[in-house]
Chains A and B, each alone.
Chain A
């Protein structure tokens, strides 16, 4: 039985797009707040649209950067589905205080230049440390008034079922007057005096590349280049793989200029990839973010009366680390293909042998080794063709491609629990393998495995795991629920007129805000407020 795996080549889409009228893509980003503490969660909603503010479902990945100074910046990739993406960014505890700039773009948008990027200032305060050189904080004498709940404009009416709630109780929200074809975000955030001045500074973005960027219509396009160690610039079979129990193997396409493109799905949650290549050198990943030169952070303005308000939030970020988490993050598994292996072995069921070569020889059906020149190769015998594949085997250890088969042959077989043998032909883009051997360790972490020379681990984050707003489950009532943002939904449409959220242990005034963008590009919003009081 022969199986063929074809990864749709983006080139095909590329040619289709160029034939069509080139669309202009824009992004709009909504955040739950504009003032954060380092260590807080930042809730994001991303809307994809064209230059006429019509929803445009084009790119699959939005690149979002929180640009600060040389030492402080955050870069994330957000998956876009149906022109919509949401994400939660865990702001590092180490971010310096100052005004940052949130920049959002897609790979396709980079062809037009930075002028069309989405930009928004975001203030960050580091409550846990203070360094006059790193942290940009100015204390002002005049206190900023607390945010007041303004009356709704734009005919959007937001109502809560009560005006006063107890802690940890349910709040029903009714939204009325939403327009068709407009997407709204809804946030329930504790009112306070902390906000960021909506003022953008001039920023010098790097000159855009001459080369036109392909749009990421299917998934992520991972770019890499081959770094030769010597003079020989020839290389073959560039590939990316992901550690784990599933096989995630991506063959790279080599462009004329030597750049390698990997067409991958969005790979949510992936933090590391293994880049391998056949040749005298290694692959180096090219960052998909634009390398914006760092500038100085602008200072945030604080008044000493805001201490209590900040301290409350400071307490929240600390307790997030100290108390056991009640909600469990769900990560979607990144499955690539689900083929049944021809032979499977649980090595624990067999007598163990000190080397893989012996193990193959003794009982792993279909797998053996051969010597080609100075290299030892792992071969698979295909029953159908009745021939060995001469070492043209894709060797995976915990999903990671082992380019140099000798690396695996010198690995301690006691670490490996399962061996799956896939016979037949497997086609990955331009790369053809006659069989796959997949080795898996119990925890999928390939203990003490040493990749040789031209395979390297690259830190390469996939898109953020799709994560909506999650309420804590309050299994343990004595553990604090100190949420400042009670609810966040960046994808409210005309159909969602009834929503609900739960209050936390934080007493005070909360503001419910619905915000949308009209076809004219105008921001419309509606707000209401309620009180949370401790019940005694």
Chain B
């Protein structure tokens, strides 16, 4: 410690009586100086060490007059000193003591007595700080004669003690009275006598009250608590009015929370099955991949997963969807108003988005099901910047094939799949985000040992989202989509072969959106897809095989589109969305193709020439505009009508002789002979929200026309056919229907109920067709199911326990059936007489599933969180008919058999662990 350096000099003035004590220090700690003064004088000094800590002083003054010396010493600090009885000195921060008592003021020369800081103590009145206490004002024994008396006081903050201005005080009963506190927190409130309650509110304070018992005028100082903000569960109410206020029609958006409560077979979150619970979406039957939207075929749905196109969205013949439920975030299904940024399919768009990985913490989840197990892990690669999400899923589903019926053809087969997702999201800054998406899936199955199938989906994409401004965003994405399948056949040793197909597409999309421009939202962009399809390749599978290797020529094409859309809120009630998409499709070489007689349908008999084109030359271009219009008019706040008109173009076609999606389906691009499919839809609807958005109801009607839909001749060769155009019959379709829906999106009981009446009919009206089906008249499509009732219900007992019910009824689908047997003399063999195409219907379909879900416990400190789903698929055990087939059993004649896939209740359970 530094030695205190004090120069003390005694100056004795010769012959004088005055001696001065000079005190001199320089930059010394104040506490040491004060101790030194105490030692040198008779004064007792008091101070609070914390208040002088760290202070240094310099002084060079005379100690003769102690008061001026101390003032000199403490000059420049906020310390004040009080001398008492000329023996005590109190040094306090900004505080004085009373040094003379007011009662003795009469003996002081100057009458005024200095006010010490202690005076605050005298006005230290009790403050009304409790809401629950009754504050008595006035004296019970001496009640005022007036009805209203004046209560005055000061309002201060509990926390800071500062006066609070602008605080409102209101008395409502028995007589209304109010006051606002002034600048110094002071108020004057006229108060009726008796027991009253004062309601107090203001900025930044908690709304409160004070209860008074008023006898007479008086003072009441009030202390208020500052507002305490608690972070609570935020209930998002945005989107509540979406049903009524969205200009788009026929859009279904579901978040993963909603998706999770819908019971699905085997306890898996299966997006395709959930899509099938929505009105207007139909399937051919259970375990059939693909779905039909408003009369469209299965290949007319654009299925997007993080911008990537998924060609085969199913695993295991449709038992499972290609999307792993653990990585999903939300999905949107566009049935009628398809935004112009989407194109290339004429029926619907199903847009599925995955979650982004957690940027803060690592965690994962393991789920165990009866058929599949999956895991996922996610976390930051760089905190708050980059995250990853990895997910994998595999199956051990061979046993299920053992229990399905013999006739399904799947019995005793072997099947398995796995898939993997990888997602990386990176935030460069608040305006730039980059997302990388990778998906791989592999399926294999064989019904008999000799014939094996496998198929693969590969998707990869990169998306960059850039915000120019808060209301101006752009996204650019590019990627690669791939699908292939292969079969191996060893049935005949001499003819063992491997056959494969693959389709590749490379895409680039850019999309721009500006919103909030006086009710306008603009959206525009460019899309481009480069196709590379290998329609088929056959190789001998073994050395001994005599099968010739054959490779079909590749199909290349470029599809480009530009689009723009404008959403305009003309008035609060009227809103329109108008968009146009113009697309070009160019089939590119090299290719060798045939030409046929002009004006005739291509057949093998009217081949004119064979043309060979070298290089990537343009062979044939199709182009056209697509219109996307919709409008909404609000009749009431909760009631709107909407109408829409859409046209769509599709340049890629599924080559399949079944209506379901099958792994062996191949895809064909439009070319010189295969025209693009065209779709046109008119729709209108009424939308009504009841109970403040608690219940959403809607009625939508549509009429849809399809052109150049592909149907095939009987006996068509679909695989390895280099001249498929000869087996194709151009068909037109029409579909119409009404969809009624009641939805309760939230609450303890939630779900939806829908009824749809719809028809889908096809016609081969081209006069060039030799023998059109049904004589060129309309006939029902195979997925024409006029009546359909769907119910998805979920009841939350608590936030953890819920039960779900899923009910599905539909008219049986039509089928062509033999009705009689006759002896055909021209052939010389018994033959069957069939009904018109799809004239007879199989029995109606009805199924009910239930599940009980237990979500993770609310205990946050638990290390793992488990959730659990148990349920029964097809609770009623109804043997729903998938198809009817006939067998000629000799003497017993032709017998019909019903085939059902899940004819018994199937219990399922799944168990998930999150960590």
- A-side residues, CB < 8 A to B, are 39, 93-94, 97, 125-130, 135, 137, 139, 272, 274, 302, 304, 307-308, 310-312, 314-315, 318-319, 321-324, 349-354, 358, 361-363, 412, 414-415, 447-451, 455-459, 476, 478-480, 505, 534, 536
Contact = CB atoms under 8 A, between A and B. Distances in A.
A449 B131 contact: yes
Contact of A362 (B99, B134, B208, B798): B798
B515 interface: no
A39 B858 CA distance: 54
Given A448-B206, A457-B130, A39 B97 contact: no
Contacts of B122: 93-94, 128-129
B124 interface: yes
Given A97-B103, A130-B105, A308 B85 contact: yes
A12 B246 CA distance: 77
A359 B232 CA distance: 13
Contact of A321 (B105, B121, B131, B857): B121
A307 B44 contact: no
B132 interface: yes
11 contacts: A97-B103, A128-B101, A130-B102, A304-B107, A307-B101, A318-B97, A322-B92, A322-B97, A349-B859, A456-B133, A534-B42
A315 B861 contact: no
A457 B134 contact: yes
A457 B116 CA distance: 36
Contacts of A314: 98, 101
B240 interface: no
Contact of A312 (B34, B42, B85, B105): B85
Interface string B73-103: 0000000000011001010100101111111
Contacts of A125: 103
B117 A322 contact: yes
B101 A311 contact: yes
Interface string B124-151: 1000001111100000000000000000
A307 B107 CA distance: 10
Contacts of B35: 478
Contacts of B225: 447-448
A352 B233 contact: yes
A322 B44 contact: no
B88 A358 contact: no
Contact of B799 (A315, A321, A353): A353
A323 B119 contact: no
Nearest to A448: B206
Interface of B: 31, 34-35, 39, 42, 44-50, 84-85, 88, 90, 92, 95, 97-107, 116-119, 121-122, 124, 130-134, 206, 208-209, 211, 225, 228, 230, 232-233, 235, 798-800, 857-861
Nearest to B35: A478
A333 B800 CA distance: 41
Contacts of A93: 118, 121-122, 124
Contact of B132 (A412, A450, A534): A450
Nearest to B124: A93
A311 B860 contact: no
B46 A319 contact: yes
B104 A457 contact: no
Contacts of A479: 46-49
B858 A449 contact: no
A287 to B, nearest CB: 11
A323 B122 CA distance: 18
A97 B131 CA distance: 35
B46 A130 contact: no
Contacts of B97: 315, 318-319, 322
Given A39-B121, A93-B124, A322 B90 contact: yes
A476 B859 contact: no
A319 B90 CA distance: 9
A358 B799 contact: yes
Contacts of B44: 480, 505, 534
A459 B134 CA distance: 9
A412 B233 CA distance: 12
A308 B34 CA distance: 25
Contact of B49 (A322, A478, A480): A478
Contacts of B230: 412, 414-415
Residue among B102, B116, B799, B858 with the highest chain A CB neighbour number at 10 A:
B858
B101 A353 contact: no
Contacts of A137: 103
Given A456-B134, A459-B133, A478-B34, A362 B118 contact: no
A131 to B, nearest CB: 9
A456 B132 CA distance: 6
A447 B159 CA distance: 13
Contacts of B132: 274, 449-451, 455-457
Nearest to B105: A130
A353 B102 CA distance: 60
B102 A129 contact: yes
Contacts of B99: 311
A450 B95 contact: no
B100 A311 contact: yes
A361 B48 contact: no
Contacts of B208: 448
Nearest to B139: A70
A283 B347 CA distance: 74
B103 A135 contact: yes
A315 B101 contact: no
A42 B211 CA distance: 34
A478 B31 contact: yes
Given A128-B119, A272-B133, A449-B131, A363 B859 contact: yes
A318 B209 CA distance: 35
Nearest to A314: B101
Contacts of A350: 858-860
A323 B50 CA distance: 11
Contacts of B800: 362-363
A536 B860 CA distance: 66
Query: Considering the complex of A and B, which 7 residue pairs feature the smallest CB-CB distances, nearest first?
Result: A130-B102, A457-B133, A414-B230, A351-B858, A130-B103, A480-B46, A457-B132
Contacts of A319: 46, 90, 97
B89 to A, nearest CB: 10
Contact of B88 (A94, A315, A354): A315
Given A350-B860, A353-B799, A476-B48, A302 B98 contact: no
A274 B133 CA distance: 9
B770 to A, nearest CB: 69
Contact of B118 (A321, A448, A476, A534): A321
A354 B48 contact: no
Nearest to A93: B121
A448 B131 contact: yes
B858 A310 contact: no
Given A39-B121, A350-B858, A323 B85 contact: no
Nearest to B206: A448
Contacts of A311: 84-85, 99-101
A125 B116 CA distance: 18
Contacts of A459: 133
Residue among A322, A414, A449 with the highest chain B CB neighbour number at 10 A:
A322
Given A322-B97, A457-B132, A505-B44, 6 more contacts: A128-B98, A130-B105, A304-B104, A312-B85, A456-B133, A479-B47
A324 B861 contact: no
B866 to A, nearest CB: 15
A363 B858 contact: yes
B836 to A, nearest CB: 59
A414 B232 contact: yes
A302 B85 contact: no
A453 to B, nearest CB: 10
B92 A450 contact: no
A247 B230 CA distance: 27
B103 A302 contact: yes
B415 to A, nearest CB: 40
A429 to B, nearest CB: 24
A127 B34 CA distance: 29
